[in-house]
Amino acid sequence: MDFRGEFIAFAVDAGVLRFGEFKTKAGRLSPYFFNAGLFNDGASLGRLSEFYARAILASGIPCDVLFGPAYKGIPLVAGTAIALAQKGHNLPYCFNRKEAKDHGEGGTLIGAPLSGNVLIIDDVISAGTSVRESVELIRAAGATPRGVVIALDRMERGQGALSAVQEVQQSYGMPVVAVATLDDLFAFLGDRPELAQNLQAVARYREQYGIKP
């Protein structure tokens, strides 16, 4: 099993990826729910960060600095930086605060200066708001946003024919790297007889809302 399949298995075992019937923000009834906020202890955050590091290295995208958008991106970017350093790739990282600070170091950015090629580390892409704000911050600092790394790509249409991930790729001309995708989830379910009933539900959902290949 490659790291993508390993990640899906890890997310299921951790209760982060669940099956049933869940209403999405768009009002759709989804047969699965992924909540990266439930990677909420040291061991699970460490493993999650390891998967992010493996996805980044596999992507081959040039990177000088990692950036984590507040708030969910903050522990993710710190953990990913640690995991990459343990693999021999010691990269600086930076994150933002939502509110500008007028004392101490001031400003909205904390950590290493943003320069060169920057990778944005986030949990998922839904509306793309976090990515847009991150791109603006990075460009304002004179650096170049080179890509976004997320945990799971649902490969699901937004309001039009494109998914939120595809819209980000099209709008900013940069890749979105997912540790795993809906296709990886589908393959995982196909290998687990005890989860066969969920495979059929996910297949129906993908047929109705999935992006066209």
In 10 A of CB 2, how many CB atoms? 11
Which residue in 23, 87, 89, 101 is the catalytic one?
101
Asked if 64 and 91 touch (Cβ cutoff 8 Å), the reply is yes
In the DSSP assignment, the letter for residue 113 is P
Classify burial at 80, counting beta carbons within 10 Å of its beta carbon; exposed 0-12, middle 13-18, buried 19 or more: buried
Nearest to 84 by CA among 109, 102, 59: 59
Is 89 known to be catalytic? no
Q: How far apart are CA 185 and CA 154, in angstroms?
A: 9
Q: Residue holding tokens 């060169």?
A: 116
- Tell me if the bond preceding 205 is cis, omega within 30° of 0: no
What are the C-alpha distances in Å from 52 to residues 1, 157, 193? 17, 24, 28
Q: Is 87 a catalytic residue?
A: no
Residues noted as catalytic: 101, 103
